[in-house]
Amino acid sequence: MEAREQEFLDYVQSGGLVETDDWMPDEYRKRLIKFIEMHGNSELMGVLPERDWILRAPTLQRKLALTAKIQDEVGHCQLIYRVVEDLGKPRSACLDDLIAGKSKFHNVFHYPTKSWGDVGVIAWLVDAAAIISQKALLKCSYAPYARVMKKVCWEESFHILHGRDTVLAMVTGTAEQFELVQEALLRWWEPLMHFHGTPIPAAEDPMVIWRIKSQGNEEARQQFLDGYVPQILELGLEIPDPKLRKNEDGVWEYTEPDWDELVSVVTGHGPASQERLDFRRLSRAETDWVSKVILAEAA
Amino acid sequence: MIWEVFRQERKGQPFVHGGSFHAPDKEFADAYAREFYARRQESVALWVVPRDAIHAIEEFPDEFDLKYRRVDGYSIKARLKEARARAGTAQRADAETDALSPSERG
């Protein structure tokens, strides 16, 4: 590592913040682009499973809340892609790579939704897992990203509440409604355990070393389990992991998730990966004329 | 075309940079700014500025070390001590800085 790069590393490790126009090592820039782009992709792909439920929402109020959440997520995508653009990769290139399957998006958005129970579980628990990662990003060494995260976290807290309220309405409803939530939880548990990634030690995680992320994967997962397992169990729901328990030292023990499945899913081999990408391709083609018209008028 | 947004959370507060977005013209910029930065009443006012119109200044050299116009340019401790000694008020001044007032100490 050359001296200038070492100096930069020391700077970020000691809490230094980096702005768009500051000099930064190529590796730092590349890692930022890859990570932030994946985050932006996830916001955009994450609305597809929810979009499927707009027309099937059980009440008008739920329909409006779901639509508002979807608007938020797409807004996050635009904010986050702006950060990537200022680092050197244009938004159109992000979209091209996404639909070509060259870049990734979060594992949880590669799975299908089967009932309104999934919508509740996604908004409550997937967003809860996401907000843990996003809150840690408020301390990211790349300041423009950290600033965007403030707005994202603020809006996510509404999503969690909307999800929890949806789940509460169902578990206090008919036996059949309760069962829809329980089934959804069974489906989503493993993807939720995958969500924060393999338990690579923080000290060896390049993302932590560059202080792009401020917490290790396992630390985030432990925080999720600690915060949400009690909230799930108190509703009388069952978590599909017989090994799950909190040890005396405060650490959660759980069945090792199938990490090969995580790799397979995020590389486009999940049960809904291709269908979602196809839809994204279709919608890009269908809305192409809009951007052409807008840009032509501006010219 | 990129636009930068500065938002004011409450009346009387400073405008703080919120983020940026693409918009082809002022009308779209107006609509996007409202949607992105104020749809939940989280702002009372927005400044929407084309990025190109912003003149950024980032280097502030201080070759002549002009400390005399900053508070860290003045260390009055030693001088104050000397002045108090000269006026014979050193003891009283010390007592005043104590936690207890003379009457409380009896």
Higher pLDDT, A26 or A296: A26
> Considering the domain boundaries, does residue A284 fall inside one?
no
pLDDT of residue B97: 56
Residue B22 lies in a domain: yes
Question: What is the phi/psi pair of residue A184, to 5°?
Answer: -65, -40
Q: Does residue A254 belong to any structural domain of this protein?
A: no
Residue A290 domain-assigned (yes or no): no
Cα dist. A74→A157, A203, B80 in Å?
16, 33, 62
- Dihedral angle computed from the Cα positions of residues B85, B89, B91 and B94, in that order, rounded to the nearest 10 degrees: -100
* Residue B25 lies inside a defined structural domain of this protein: yes
B1-16 pLDDT tens trace:
999 999 999 999 999 9
Residue B27 belongs to domain with CATH number: 3.10.20.520
In a domain, A192, yes or no: yes
What is the distance between the terminal CA atoms of chain A, rounded to a whole angstrom? 46
In the predicted model, is pLDDT for residue B99 greater than 80?
no
Question: Would you tell me how many other CB atoms lie within 10 Å of the CB of residue A47?
Answer: 21
Please give the structure tokens belonging to residue B23. 């918009």
Query: A293 CA to chain B: closest CA distance, Å?
Result: 10
The CATH number assigned to the domain holding A166 equals 1.20.1260.10
C-beta separation of A75 from B36 below 8 A: yes
Per the domain annotation, does A257 fall within a domain?
A: no
Interval A52-67 mean pLDDT:
96
B21 vs A71, A82, A297: nearest CB: A82
A126 falls within a domain: yes
**Chain B residues inside the 8 Å CB shell of A21:** 56, 58
B48-72 pLDDT tens trace: 999 999 999 988 888 888 888 888 8
- Which of A79, A86, A294 lies nearest to residue B24, judging by beta carbons? A294
Partner-chain contact A295 B24, CB within 8 Å? yes
Q: Which residues of A touch B (CB under 8 A)?
A: 21, 71, 75, 78-79, 82, 86, 91, 147-148, 151, 154, 294-295, 297-298
Residue A299 above 70 pLDDT? no
Rounded-to-integer distance, Cα A110 and Cα A114, Å: 13
The nearest CA of chain B is from the CA of A4 a distance in Å of: 20
The residue among A32, A50, A38 whose CA lies nearest residue A159 is A50
Residue A91 φ/ψ, nearest 5 degrees: -60, -40
How many domains in chain A?
1
Q: Residue A82 has what pLDDT?
A: 97
**What average pLDDT does this structure show over A161-177?**
96
CB B20, CB B51: distance < 8 Å: yes
**Does residue A138 carry a pLDDT above 70?**
yes
Cα–Cα distance for residue pair A98/A229, rounded to 1 Å: 33
A199-258 pLDDT, tens per residue?
Answer: 999 889 999 999 999 999 999 999 999 999 999 999 999 999 999 999 999 999 999 999
B18 falls within a domain: yes
In a domain, B13, yes or no: yes
In A, minimum Cα distance to B22 occurs at A82
Distance, in angstroms, between A96 CA and closest chain B CA?
A: 18
Domain count, chain B: 1
CA-based nearest distance B1→chain A, Å: 9
pLDDT of residue A62: 96
Domain membership of residue A280 (yes or no) is no
Range A50-76 average pLDDT: 95
User: Mind telling me how many Å the CA of B14 is from chain A's nearest CA?
Assistant: 17
Residue A298: its pLDDT value, please? 64
A217-237 core/surface letters (b: 16 or more CB in 10 A; e: else): bbbbbbbbbeebbeebeebeb
Residue labelled with tokens 């009896």: B106
In a domain, B86, yes or no: no
Which of A74, A151, A157 is best to mutate for the B interface (most B CBs within 10 A)?
A151
Size of interface A-B (CB pairs under 8 A): 31
**The pLDDT value given to residue A162:** 93
Report chain B's mean pLDDT, rounded to a whole number. Answer: 87
Residue B95's pLDDT is 60
Structure tokens at A119: 């919508």
Q: In the predicted model, is pLDDT for residue A144 greater than 60?
A: yes
In this prediction, residue B106 carries a pLDDT of: 44
Cα angle vertex B5, ends B2, B8, to 5°?
A: 175
Do residue B19 and residue A91 have CB atoms under 8 angstroms apart? Answer: no
- Backbone φ and ψ for B17, nearest 5 degrees, come out as -60, 130
Are the Cβ atoms of B25 and A298 closer than 8 angstroms? yes
Q: Which residue of B has its CA nearest to A292?
A: B24
* φ, ψ for residue B5, nearest 5 deg: -115, 130
Q: Are B19 and A148 in contact (CB < 8 Å)?
A: yes
CA A66 – CA A24 distance, rounded (Å) = 40
Assess if residue B59 is contained within a domain.
no
User: Considering the domain boundaries, does residue A151 fall inside one?
Assistant: yes
